[in-house]
Structure 1
């Protein structure tokens, strides 16, 4: 029972996190579509580009650094990154 309660509390705290840095792979350049996890693909109103990111010529296969806003509904694309 204690483990169940602990799991619930941890889940609530994670959901309330103000922000989290995440990486994603561009799967489509226009309209911008980014795969964050195996089953999470973001596009349209879920992605906001910073001025720096908007000036980049992103293409499929590029990796980007994003900031996930509270609740996980909004993602801010910050920059392109190198994955090695």
Structure 2
């Protein structure tokens, strides 16, 4: 009986699509498109971009200084697929691996 309950609980979690970590690459900026695991290309409708990956500029004197750069084509990303698998949160750029 206990094994049947454990199996049912595992099947329910698997069916719900638990959170999964993926790697992706920015293929286009405007509109944003990301290739995930070299097989699935996502449009910006399916992506959640944190503020930390948006451009931040300040003007110092007469010159604009980029404090934080925006996403660019070719950037490698760490993504988390939200439960249910419909949306992906971009966690950060990946610089190695």
Fold equivalence (TM over 0.5): yes
Is the partner of 1:35 in helix, strand or coil? strand
User: 1:15 offset after TM fit, Å?
Assistant: 4.1
CA deviation string 1:3-49 (max 9, x = no partner) = xxxxxxx8864442431221101111221110003330001210011
Aligned residues: 76
**Corresponding residue of 2:29:** 29
| TM-score relative to the length of structure 2 | 0.64
User: 1:80 offset after TM fit, Å?
Assistant: 0.9
Structure 1 unaligned residues grouped into runs of 5+: 1-9
| TM-score relative to the length of structure 1 | 0.72
More helix by share: 1
Of 59, 70, 82, which residue of structure 2 is paired with 1:69? 82
RMSD (CA atoms)? 2.3
Structure 2 unaligned residues grouped into runs of 5+: 1-9, 56-68
Indicate the structure (1 or 2) with the bigger Cα radius of gyration.
2
Contact kept, 8 Å, 1:15 with 1:70, in 2: the verdict is: no
